[in-house]
Amino acid sequence: MASAGASKFSRFMNSETGPKTIHFWAPVMKWALVFAGISDMNRPVETISGTQQIALMATGLIWTRWCMIIKPKNFLLASVNFFLGTVAAYQVVRLYNYQTSLGYTPIKAFSNIAFPQKKEEETEKGPVATAIAAAEESK
């Protein structure tokens, strides 16, 4: 029984995706990005970067597919990339819902997420924000 356990352990240690390779440690370190994305779920949506979330979503989904094509198949890397893409997609949905709640059309909401304006250059406000500002000025 002990030799069977030692045999499994030595196979794990010496495998192509074992802890002696980058194929093991890269996914382990990449989980930090997933945990950071999960912790960002508590942040106000205004402070989340749309371009960063789109990039994380795209890379997560692309690399998940790549992990299924390469040899050896790296399921640890595939799982971390899948969750990275999923968490980032959730953040993009949060950003979209926020933009539409401000009164932007769906096209303009996606445009604001993918191509955000700089604060000092921002001139166009959504219809709801414009109405609120006009109401406050008339007081």
pLDDT value at residue 59: 96
Hey, how many other C-beta atoms are within 10 angstroms of the C-beta on 34? 21
Q: Which residues of 72-108 are buried (b: 16+ CB within 10 A; e: fewer)?
A: eebebbbebbbbbbbbbbbbbebbbebbeebebeeee
Domain boundaries, the chain: 18-137
What's the confidence (pLDDT) of residue 121? 42
Q: What is d(CA 8, CA 13) in angstroms, rounded to the nearest whole number?
A: 9
What tens digit of pLDDT does each residue of 101-134 get?
Answer: 999 999 999 999 999 886 544 455 666 777 777 7
Stretch 58-77: mean pLDDT, rounded?
A: 90
Q: How would residue 40 be classed by pLDDT, with cut points 50, 70 and 90? A: very high
Q: At CB < 8 A and 24+ separation, what contacts does 103-110 make?
A: 103/127, 103/128, 103/129
Give the model's confidence band at 21: pLDDT under 50 very low, under 70 low, under 90 confident, else very high. confident
What percent of the chain has pLDDT above 70?
Answer: 87
Specify the pTM: 0.71
CA pair distance 55, 38, nearest whole angstrom: 16
- pLDDT of the residue at 120: 47
